[in-house]
Structure 1
Amino acid sequence: MVGVKMNRTYFKATIREISQSMGKFISIVLIILLGSLLYVGIRSVGPDLNQSANHYFKQQKLSDVKVSATIGLTNRDLTSIKQTKQVKTAMPFHMTTLQKSRSQIVSVYGYQKQASLDQLKLVSGKLPRRANEMVLDHKAKENGYQIGDTYRLPKNDNLRRHTFKVVGFVNSPQYISSTDRGTTNLGNGTVNYFAYVPNQVFKQKVYAGIAVAFKNPNQYAAGTDKYNNYVDSQKNKLKKQLSKRPQERQKQLQNTAQAKLNRQKAQVVQQEKQLDKVPNGYQTAKTKAAKQKLTAAKTKIKQAETQIKAIDKPSYFYNERSANPGYQDYFDESHSIAAIAIIFPGFFLFIAILITFTTVSRMVEKNRREIGLMRALGYTKHEIAMKYIIYTLLAGILGAGLGSVLGMLTLPQFIFSLLTNNNLTQFVGVMPWSYLIEAMIAGLIATLGSALSVLMINLREVPTNLMRERAPKAGKRILLERITPLWKRLSFNQKVSYRNLFRYKGRMLMTIVGIAGCTGLILTGFGIQNSVDDLVPAQYDDVQHFQAIVTVDKANRKVHTDQISAQKEVLIKSVTARPTHGTANDTVTMVVPKTKTHFKQFVSLNSLKNGQSIELANDGVILSEKLATDMNAKKGGYVSLQVNGKRVRAKVSGVIKNYAGHWIYTTPTYYRKLTHKTYRATSRLIKTRQIKKTQRDELSRQLLKQTGVLNVSFPRYAASALSTGGLGSVVLIMIVMSGALALVVLYNLTNINISERMRELATIKVLGFYDREVTAYVARENVIFTIVGIVVGWGIGIFLHRFIMIKAQTGSILFPMTIHYPGYLWSALITGLFSLIIGILTHYRLKRIEMLDALAASE
């Protein structure tokens, strides 16, 4: 009964401890809560974004691969695909891209009511039911279209009708981006939106493509390496299944053309026989004209025979989901956020744990006399420890539990809601059990672990030693004292402050580390934002200096307007780079200028090592930095390329700084050596005097009116692949959370500082110091700690920023490692502001110190 009474009494003492030090208890809970909230919340963002996309794709049955060919696909291709063992579903589709007006390019698809793949998601209205009905892309609303409008397509050979009634607006899983609809050779090179008309409206004899879904890919989440590797392996099996089809199609085309030619030959022979029957003396003008026509027909037959022999094998293409507009951008953004989540929240939680560990251990150390008294009264070590175990368990569980749950429920969904560059509307979260457990363990280590570690040391001592205060640390001469001229000029208060700084080295170190950690986190947040914002300017100001690319029909075609200040004739070709090891391929843009002259005005080919300009050479190619990294290629080595369907090995003559996209630069001489093809510079790099949107639109209109101009594009302003909007919301959260942590950390450390120095502060009040002087006595040390912490924090921020931005590199993106001076300024101001706020709160607390009580507290 005695034990029960003692336990009950001690439990009441625990509750009293919490109630009497509610500020300290709440601060411990808050630090752990903030650390856990950011750790679990940010780390959950990447998986939740992936799961939301994966759910959407499953719901709308997005195909895994789309097969297409240069001359379309037939039912024989469809049968071959369906016969592939791993193919679950194959659905042919019709599609054509049309220029509705000078400012509108539309991709028109055939709508299938019972579509087994790539199902539309209705946004408003209804789906087509009649031949005269159509649905438009939700993005088409930007062009003013509404339900009930009459929509007219330009006349073409692919459609049976060209006038439709708009009955609804839709989203398609083929277009995850809300802005990007792909590129085309028509107009300005950019598709504005898509449309779906009933399938029977199309009169194409062949299919534009065949959508394919493989068996069992649902066990792998979209966007993951497992899914990509699985689809890649199944795609290779599909290629093998269709490997004979190009040759079969070639033969089929030749046979069809030959059959037609044979009929023409038979007609010519018949005509020739009829003309031979006419005697030479009876030939009339009509007979002579018939002979001339016969000669012309024979010439055409010879030309047709040459053309039949020249029919090439069609090329078959196998486009995975990553080719869909916006698909890879979404997952690259998700991966970038996940990369940031690897280090930033971890470091954030580490600072929280460190400060909490210090706070709890100091609290237990402060209660040494109470522990000794309890030991002397007969309480066991276990009973004494229970008070602190309950206290710290409660703080740890409350902080880590609440923080983890709040982080899981709020941050991922909040960030998802801020992503406006995609068509996903339904958030689907994943239960982050591993992160929850990690945060809970970290919180308990910080609270319970710190209490137990100090208790283990104190409980080994005998009660009499515990009830005696530890002897204060002896004062020592500091280095500053040895600089006599400077030391003599310091006031008494300044000398005391500097001695105190080095007298309690542990407190000094912990304060500086806490402030530095928070400052570093804030600076890292600003640095990430700077790197994201500088991506486009770094690419298009520092590396590529042209504003537009114009494609023409002939190599000698000239383009001209008043806005063009300079132009460069180049060949631009899309090629595929393959790594030495692995299966992943990179799509690369090859640029081959007609001459080296003035090419530096359009593209800066600056070396990675020394920043010096590299000259284009006739014995190799120059690679952009990220491409060289992905291909594990170095100067003097080789890179494997697929150009015009053929695989070649190109020597690497240099690697240049580049931030967005994969690029290869070489000379016409080396291009001909690689491809054995004729060099034709059918593109123009354009530099303009004006680049505002109105000037761009006007330039595009003027160029497209010129004979032979096929396409005009503005890479800098159509670079949807550089979209990193989701990072901005993460950065904002990190800066706010880091500031909140800084405030709580400073409050906690200042509280510890004051509670440990009550007698000292009471003594100087007895000696006649005014309240402001007492505050200055403490604040002077805090100012020094804050300044040193900010400087050290800048160093931590630079390191964290660099580490995170390297991890955040995905696809063809290479972030510039830039932190602008406002980031340093704001991180210092935020930390300094919080330090000032804590200083004001400290002043009012110091005013309430009772001199006699504080002096008698340890007697």
Structure 2
Amino acid sequence: MNRTYFKATVREITQSMGKFVSIVLIILLGSLLYVGIRGVGPDLNQSANHYFQQQQLSDVKVSSTMGLTNSDLTSIKHNKNVKQTAASHMVTLQKSRNQVVSVYSYQKQAKLDKLKLVSGKLPTKTNQIVLDAKAKENGYHIGDTYQLPKNTNLKRRTFKIVGFVNSPQFVSSTDRGTTNLGSGTVDYFACVPNGAFSQKEYAAIAVQFKNSNHYAAGTDAYNDQVDRQKASLKATLSKRPRDRQKQLQASAQAKLDKQSDKLKQQEKQLAKVPSGYQTTQTKAAKQELTAGKKKIAASEVQIKQIAKPTYMYNDRSTNPGYQDYFDESHSIAAIAIIFPGFFLFIAILITFSTISRMVEKNRREIGLMRALGYTKREIAMKYIVYTLLAGILGAGLGGVLGMLTLPQFVFSLLSNNNLTEFVGVIPWSYLAQTMVAGLIATLGSALIVLTINLREVPTNLMRERAPKAGKRILLERIKPLWSHLSFNQKVSYRNLFRYKGRMIMTIVGIAGCTGLILTGFGIQDSVNDLVPTQYEDVQHFQALVTVEKATQQVHADNIAAQKPVMVKSITARPTHGTANDTVTLMVPKTTTNFAKYVTLKSVATSKRLHLTNKGVILSEKLATDMHAKAGSSVNLQIGGKKVTAKVTGVTTNYAGHWLYTTQAYYKKLTGNSVQTTTRLVKTTHTKKAQREKLSRQLLKEKGVLNVSFPRYAASSLSTGGLGSVVLIMIVMSGALALVVLYNLTNINISERMRELATIKVLGFYDREVTAYVARENVIFTIAGIVVGWGIGLFLHQFIMVKAQTGSILFPMTIHYPGFIWSAVITGCFSLFIGILTHFKLKHIDMLDALSAGE
């Protein structure tokens, strides 16, 4: 390119700086959102993976219903896949009526599940304790004396607080697990040196497998690797339940043998006493001896009945908050698949139209350059440089800004977890994709139009294209309506349909932006409606109360009604596949009035479902995971027993995996009777103070073990990240709408400069000229909003299906304010652009505009 032509290129940019900047901005916004949102999921995963590796979070926790011994520890260490282990003690205590604490043993040399110090120091003496950072809410400070209730598992009760910590075992900043003490939830944890425990058995053994760190936490590759190693570990410990049972029986038998030996000695001594010399004391001793023999006989029966302990292998997904974090990350990643892509598509479409129109507008210049002897390559270079610069600037700046800002912004809004250090990754693939997309929109469009135009001879290029022939539009054929329109209105409607390409492009641009804004509001509505919909439309009870005896009723001022049920945690597995789901099984004592507590409604027909003795009813997301439907079967594991149940229906459900059946069918499956020790409780009031009062009243009642309020526990569902992404999407979509409207209006005016100058010469006032253009924009905006609502409904449906993870099924709802706000935002931007247009039209140079084509 020669120097003169290069200057012409620079002049093209400087003289149309508004157009150039708008092209760069459109590509920048599209690239920023595409790279930024698509990078959120990987960055959240990388931040978590970095934290878990730093704190050496264990892969699996092995525990047993009878505790674990050194023999278990040795067996685990001998497994070829195990890298390292850490055995620990634990006891959960009710410190006060309102505080339940889990106390763990701490070993300075332990390399797994390392505590992260928040303040103070870690304990070094048996009289020192560190508390969960969450315990600060209860008013504890470093240096305070901390007292626990008396417990045989601890050597002491009083400790000195020396620090506050976080544990990688608790990703959630609020959830510390459940218990059968107090209100049913653990409030916080504490750690004391191992020497402060008097426990003989271990509560758990943490296990880290070899090569597990080679896989990123939360990924399918990591989960598959741990599943394989866990299966190997189970095989290693397969004989331990039987060995442990024998050990417990032998230990109990040894103690009983000692008692038996004592009784035999007493019997021998009593036998030496002549019958004539037996006293009252001798007779009492004989009676005591007889009672002792009966007791030993009963104990021998009990020893034989000592069951094999159940060994449990809990992976990271059982850690409070762990799965929620990755489920949220996966939901954001699912949203990122379609939303930013559509956003970028709109940006590319508008840019493509802008560039192609710009080149088309310069046809005469291209023809003149050809006539002067410039080669096609030299002519094309001006537009290649222009579009390359716009594409690289927009895509490059947008991609880098998106990578550096949006993921960290979303991470900073996640207040429901203990991860504090953001660790990002460079999304090379997304940066490359957005760069290619930006260049297709700019350089690609220029090359296509140039290729078409450069094929024509210079004389044809230097002539203006013949204007489109006027045609009658549909409205003209409706004579009563057409005759009542003013001249200006008739001109506007004719222009609308005369330039169909411009009309379609404008409507598509506005519709895309409106659709994106509506989608953002819709996602927010679906997230916010999750808990209310579950506990208003599906489950109508407010509290779950666990009691000792199935016959017990609970009493309190706030209770309106109650229903005895059995609630049990079981495992479901699909007929084909290995993925397990943890499911809550609910079996009512009777099916009478069960609909007042739980609404069972068919997903397929929306009709009421009824519990029968012929099978089970599954919740919708569980049925999807299990590939089950009415008439098929599902594999269940109930209390260690594997059974196959027939599915009689699939019910609408939004949070959690649920399975419902009758007492008769449960007994048919398991052979066991149903123990309805849970009460579904409906309350008259649901405010926090009233719930706390009800909980206190019930826990004072003899036989009440636990009180929980599922709806209010579920309100802490991890949705902060989704909310922040929605906020970003709405703001970015609004910004794109503003730039798109400005760009399209600017193009519209520049292409019609002679037309607008002509009507000014004919005597139209400035306001009339503005109305001449604005009338078309108003129609485009209204049409774009209506079409955009349709796009938004489709995008919302698609995204929320993709965002479903774990046991969550989002309700497909968009409330009317979303439609109103999406229209208002688009309308306000259109009005703002209309005001800018008015001032631009006031300053049209009529002579230059009219002579431009000569």
Whether TM-score is above 0.5 comes out as yes
Match 1:770 to one of 755, 762, 765: 765
Match 1:578 to one of 573, 588, 604: 573
Asked if residue 128 in structure 1 is aligned to residue 123 in structure 2, the reply is: yes
Asked if structure 1 preserves the Cα contact closer than 8 Å seen for 2:530 and 2:811, the reply is: yes
Q: Which residues of 2 match residues 102-121 of structure 1 at below 5 A?
A: 102-121=97-116
Asked if residue 324 in structure 1 is aligned to residue 300 in structure 2, the reply is: no
Q: Which residues of 2 match residues 486-565 of structure 1 at below 5 A?
A: 486-565=481-560
Match 1:621 to one of 601, 616, 622: 616
Q: Which residues of 2 match residues 465-504 of structure 1 at below 5 A?
A: 465-504=460-499
Which residue identity lines up with residue 562 of structure 2 in the other structure?
Q
Give me the whole-angstrom Cα distance separating, in 2, the residues matched to 1:264 and 1:423.
54
Match 2:779 to one of 762, 766, 784: 784
TM-score, normalised with respect to structure 1: 0.99
CA displacement at 1:721 relative to structure 2:
6.6
Asked if residue 19 in structure 1 is aligned to residue 14 in structure 2, the reply is: yes
Asked if residue 400 in structure 1 is aligned to residue 395 in structure 2, the reply is: yes
Q: Deviations over 1:139-164 (max 9, x none)?
A: 00000001011000000110000100
Asked if residue 40 in structure 1 is aligned to residue 35 in structure 2, the reply is: yes
Uncovered stretches (5+) of structure 1, i.e. residues with no partner:
1-5
Asked if residue 185 in structure 1 is aligned to residue 180 in structure 2, the reply is: yes
CA displacement at 1:720 relative to structure 2:
6.0
Match 1:145 to one of 108, 131, 140: 140
Give me the whole-angstrom Cα distance separating, in 1, the residues matched to 2:674 and 2:722.
42
Q: CA RMSD in A?
A: 0.7
Match in the other structure for 2:58? 63
SS at the partner of 1:818? coil
SS at the partner of 1:717? helix
SS at the partner of 2:83? strand
Q: Pick closer, same or farther for the CA change 1:720–1:775 going to 2, 3 Å.
A: closer
Match in the other structure for 2:674? 679
Q: Deviations over 1:385-418 (max 9, x none)?
A: 0000000000000000000000000000011011
Q: Deviations over 1:33-89 (max 9, x none)?
A: 000000000000000000000000000000000000001000000000001000000
Match in the other structure for 1:284? 279
Say how many residue pairs are matched. 854
Give me the whole-angstrom Cα distance separating, in 2, the residues matched to 1:842 and 1:475.
26
SS at the partner of 1:129? coil
Asked if structure 2 preserves the Cα contact closer than 8 Å seen for 1:524 and 1:797, the reply is: yes
SS at the partner of 1:722? coil
SS at the partner of 2:710? coil
Q: Which residues of 2 match residues 433-448 of structure 1 at below 5 A?
A: 433-448=428-443
Which residue identity lines up with residue 96 of structure 2 in the other structure?
S
CA displacement at 1:609 relative to structure 2:
1.8
Which residue identity lines up with residue 154 of structure 1 in the other structure?
P
Which residue identity lines up with residue 652 of structure 1 in the other structure?
V
CA displacement at 1:722 relative to structure 2:
2.4
Q: Deviations over 1:274-328 (max 9, x none)?
A: 2122222211101100100000001101100110111100000000000000000
Give me the whole-angstrom Cα distance separating, in 2, the residues matched to 1:723 and 1:616.
32
Match in the other structure for 2:3? 8
Match in the other structure for 1:347? 342
SS at the partner of 1:425? coil
Match in the other structure for 2:411? 416
Asked if structure 1 preserves the Cα contact closer than 8 Å seen for 2:663 and 2:673, the reply is: no
Q: Deviations over 1:449-470 (max 9, x none)?
A: 0000000000000100000000
User: Bigger CA drift: 18-27 or 762-771?
Assistant: 762-771
Asked if structure 2 preserves the Cα contact closer than 8 Å seen for 1:621 and 1:653, the reply is: yes
Which residue identity lines up with residue 368 of structure 2 in the other structure?
L
Match in the other structure for 1:688? 683
Match in the other structure for 2:790? 795
Sequence identity (%):
78
Match 2:96 to one of 97, 101, 106: 101
Q: Deviations over 1:571-600 (max 9, x none)?
A: 000000011222221100000000011111
Give me the whole-angstrom Cα distance separating, in 2, the residues matched to 1:264 and 1:125.
52
Which residue identity lines up with residue 114 of structure 1 in the other structure?
Q
Asked if residue 173 in structure 1 is aligned to residue 168 in structure 2, the reply is: yes
Q: Which residues of 2 match residues 639-678 of structure 1 at below 5 A?
A: 639-678=634-673
Asked if structure 2 preserves the Cα contact closer than 8 Å seen for 1:45 and 1:338, the reply is: yes
Give me the whole-angstrom Cα distance separating, in 1, the residues matched to 2:142 and 2:468.
82
Which residue identity lines up with residue 472 of structure 2 in the other structure?
R
Match 2:586 to one of 582, 591, 604: 591
Give me the whole-angstrom Cα distance separating, in 1, the residues matched to 2:167 and 2:851.
77
Asked if structure 2 preserves the Cα contact closer than 8 Å seen for 1:180 and 1:720, the reply is: no
Give me the whole-angstrom Cα distance separating, in 2, the residues matched to 1:477 and 1:769.
25
Asked if structure 1 preserves the Cα contact closer than 8 Å seen for 2:531 and 2:715, the reply is: no
Asked if structure 2 preserves the Cα contact closer than 8 Å seen for 1:105 and 1:190, the reply is: yes
Which residue identity lines up with residue 732 of structure 2 in the other structure?
M
Give me the whole-angstrom Cα distance separating, in 2, the residues matched to 1:242 and 1:560.
46
Give me the whole-angstrom Cα distance separating, in 2, the residues matched to 1:61 and 1:284.
71
Match 1:384 to one of 379, 382, 391: 379
Match 1:736 to one of 731, 746, 764: 731
Asked if structure 2 preserves the Cα contact closer than 8 Å seen for 1:355 and 1:514, the reply is: yes
TM-score, normalised with respect to structure 2: 0.99
SS at the partner of 2:711? coil
Which residue identity lines up with residue 225 of structure 2 in the other structure?
Y
Uncovered stretches (5+) of structure 2, i.e. residues with no partner:
none
SS at the partner of 1:197? strand
Match 1:709 to one of 704, 722, 730: 704
Which residue identity lines up with residue 124 of structure 1 in the other structure?
S
Which residue identity lines up with residue 168 of structure 1 in the other structure?
G
Which residue identity lines up with residue 449 of structure 1 in the other structure?
G
Match 2:226 to one of 224, 228, 231: 231
Asked if structure 1 preserves the Cα contact closer than 8 Å seen for 2:215 and 2:221, the reply is: yes
Q: Pick closer, same or farther for the CA change 1:720–1:158 going to 2, 3 Å.
A: farther
Q: Which residues of 2 match residues 73-88 of structure 1 at below 5 A?
A: 73-88=68-83
Which residue identity lines up with residue 48 of structure 1 in the other structure?
D
Asked if structure 2 preserves the Cα contact closer than 8 Å seen for 1:722 and 1:813, the reply is: no
Match 1:199 to one of 177, 182, 194: 194
Superposition misfits of 4+ residues, deviation over 6 angstroms: none
Asked if structure 2 preserves the Cα contact closer than 8 Å seen for 1:640 and 1:649, the reply is: yes
Give me the whole-angstrom Cα distance separating, in 2, the residues matched to 1:721 and 1:280.
77
Give me the whole-angstrom Cα distance separating, in 2, the residues matched to 1:26 and 1:623.
56
Match in the other structure for 2:210? 215
Give me the whole-angstrom Cα distance separating, in 2, the residues matched to 1:719 and 1:832.
38
SS at the partner of 1:716? helix
Match in the other structure for 1:724? 719
Asked if structure 1 preserves the Cα contact closer than 8 Å seen for 2:67 and 2:201, the reply is: yes
Match in the other structure for 1:3? none
Match 2:625 to one of 617, 627, 630: 630
CA displacement at 1:557 relative to structure 2:
1.2
Give me the whole-angstrom Cα distance separating, in 1, the residues matched to 2:85 and 2:658.
35
Match in the other structure for 1:812? 807
Give me the whole-angstrom Cα distance separating, in 2, the residues matched to 1:425 and 1:720.
22
Which residue identity lines up with residue 300 of structure 1 in the other structure?
K
